Structure 1
Amino acid sequence: MTASRILRPVIALAVLAALGILLWFATRPPPLIVQGEVSANRVDISPRVSGRIAKLNVDVGDNVEAGAVIAVLESPELTAALHMTEAALSVSQADLARVNSTRPETIDAANAELAAAAADVTLYQEESARQTRLITTGASTQAQAEQAARNLEAAIRKRESAEANVRLVVAGSSKEEKALAAAQVEQTRASLNQQQVNVSELTIHAPISGQVTTRVAELGENFSAGAPLFSIIDLQNPWFTFNLREDLLRGLKVGDDFDVVVPAIGPDKTAVKVTMINAQGQYATWRATRATGDFDLRTFEVRAVPIKSVDGLRPGMSVIAAWSER
Structure 2
Amino acid sequence: MKRYVEIGFIAALVVVLGIWLGVSFYKAYRPAPQMLQGQIQAKQYSVSSKLAGRVGSILVKRGDMVKKGDLIFTINSPEVEAKLQQAQAGYEAAKALSEEAHKGARAETIISARDIYQSAKAMRELTEKTYKRTQELYDNGVVSLQRRDEAFTAFENAKYSENTALQQYKIALDGASKETKIAAKQKEIAAAGQVSEVEAYIHDMQAYAPATAEVSNILIQEGELSPSGFPVVMLVDNRQAWLNLSVSEEYLPYFKLGSEFSAYLPALRKHVRFKVRYVSAMGDFATWRATSSSKGYDLRSFEIEAQPLDALDELRVGFSAIVEIESLAKNSAPAR
Normalising by structure 2, what TM-score?
Answer: 0.63
What runs of 5+ residues in structure 2 fail to find an aligned partner?
Answer: 1-22, 108-174
Q: Deviations over 1:51-84 (max 9, x none)?
A: 2222221111111112111112211110010111
For the residue of structure 1 that corresponds to 2:72, the secondary structure is: strand
Contact 2:292–2:298 under 8 Å retained in 1: no
For the residue of structure 1 that corresponds to 2:240, the secondary structure is: coil
Residue of structure 1 in register with 2:85 after alignment: 83
- 278, 290, 303: which one aligns with 1:288: 290
CA distance in 2, matches of 1:309, 1:217: 33
Contact 1:245–1:284 under 8 Å retained in 2: no
Contact 1:63–1:212 under 8 Å retained in 2: yes
Cα distance, 1:189 vs. partner?
2.2
| Pair 1:221–1:283, CA change in 2 (3 A) | closer
CA distance in 1, matches of 2:298, 2:178: 76
The answer to whether the aligner puts 1:258 opposite 2:261 as a matched pair is yes
The answer to whether the aligner puts 1:59 opposite 2:61 as a matched pair is yes
Contact 2:239–2:312 under 8 Å retained in 1: no
Q: Deviations over 1:173-225 (max 9, x none)?
A: 43322332232223222222221111111112112221112113322223222
| Pair 1:204–1:280, CA change in 2 (3 A) | farther
Q: Which amino acid aligns with 1:71?
A: F
- 276, 279, 282: which one aligns with 2:278: 276
The answer to whether the aligner puts 1:235 opposite 2:235 as a matched pair is no
Residue of structure 1 in register with 2:206 after alignment: 203
What RMSD over aligned residues (CA atoms) do the two structures have, in Å? 2.8
The answer to whether the aligner puts 1:318 opposite 2:328 as a matched pair is no
Residue of structure 2 in register with 1:309 after alignment: 311
Normalising by structure 1, what TM-score?
Answer: 0.65
For the residue of structure 2 that corresponds to 1:240, the secondary structure is: strand
CA distance in 2, matches of 1:204, 1:51: 13
| Pair 1:57–1:242, CA change in 2 (3 A) | same
For the residue of structure 2 that corresponds to 1:250, the secondary structure is: helix
CA distance in 2, matches of 1:31, 1:62: 41
CA distance in 2, matches of 1:187, 1:211: 43
Q: Which amino acid aligns with 1:218?
A: Q
Range that drifts further, 92-101 or 202-211: 92-101
CA distance in 2, matches of 1:293, 1:320: 25
Cα distance, 1:38 vs. partner?
0.4
| Pair 1:178–1:272, CA change in 2 (3 A) | same
CA distance in 2, matches of 1:77, 1:85: 12
- 248, 253, 277: which one aligns with 1:245: 248
Cα distance, 1:275 vs. partner?
0.9
Cα distance, 1:265 vs. partner?
0.4
Contact 1:283–1:296 under 8 Å retained in 2: no
Cα distance, 1:242 vs. partner?
0.3
Q: Which amino acid aligns with 2:41?
A: S
Percent identity of the aligned residues? 26
CA distance in 2, matches of 1:280, 1:86: 59
Contact 1:283–1:297 under 8 Å retained in 2: no
For the residue of structure 1 that corresponds to 2:221, the secondary structure is: coil
Residue of structure 2 in register with 1:33 after alignment: 35
CA distance in 2, matches of 1:245, 1:101: 82
Residue of structure 2 in register with 1:214 after alignment: 217
What runs of 5+ residues in structure 1 fail to find an aligned partner?
Answer: 1-21, 106-171
Runs of 4+ in 1 over 4 A off after TM superposition: 25-31, 290-293
The answer to whether the aligner puts 1:224 opposite 2:230 as a matched pair is no
Paired residue total: 236
Residue of structure 2 in register with 1:187 after alignment: 190
CA distance in 2, matches of 1:240, 1:251: 15
Contact 2:238–2:313 under 8 Å retained in 1: no
Q: Deviations over 1:253-272 (max 9, x none)?
A: 222111112110012x2111
